Amino acid sequence: MHVLAADVSSLAANDQLVLAAQVLIAGLLGAAIGLERELAGKRAGTRTHALVAIGGALAVGLGRLILADDGVGDATRVLHGVITGVGFIGAGTILRSPGERITGLTTAATVLCAAVIGCACALGAPLVAALVTVLVLVLLRGGRLLSRITDAAVERRRAKGQIDEDD
């Protein structure tokens, strides 16, 4: 018995191949961000960021294809759903330590960025997604240096009594 692709799919094979390539690109870009997080010793690493980017790309890509196929719906609703869902994942990375120090905000932000990078890939903007990935990586690496500089400046101002501890 011979089964054709049209027998098991209502979406054109070419459209599916394009989406598969977009999802692959999204996964690689997400993995790049995740690798940086992993090398920095953070909990959400390569797999998490790659999966978030892949999930965002697949959801948006399928939404786009379904909308193109039957013309009914609103593509922005899928984006909204992805961003809302990722918000819950990101919230799980944010913790408050006993010393009232909050950690995980940057990782939560990178998870959100990975999702939106995946969405951008699925919407046909892989160059923008790649550029944003580079920007995120530069900010993560350069941000550490900037944080050390600003932390030192804050400590100097605190030692001089120029910063109110209650603020």
State how far the Cα of 121 lies from the Cα of 112, in Å rounded to an integer.
14
Domain of 63, in residue numbers: 5-139
Looking at the 3D structure of the chain, how many domains does it have?
1
The mean pLDDT of 136-159, rounded to a whole number, is 84
- Do the domain assignments include residue 160? no
Q: What is the pLDDT of residues 90-135, one digit of tens each?
A: 888 887 777 777 788 899 999 999 999 999 999 999 999 999 999 9
* Lowest mean pLDDT across 79-83, 139-143, 146-150: 146-150
Q: Which residues of 56-66 are buried (b: 16+ CB within 10 A; e: fewer)?
A: bbbbbbbbbbb
Q: What pTM value is reported for the model?
A: 0.82
The mean pLDDT of 80-84, rounded to a whole number, is 92
- Do the domain assignments include residue 109? yes
- Length of the chain in residues, anyone? 167
Q: What is the pLDDT of residues 35-45, one digit of tens each?
A: 999 999 988 89
The sign one gets for the Cα dihedral 59, 75, 63, 119 is negative
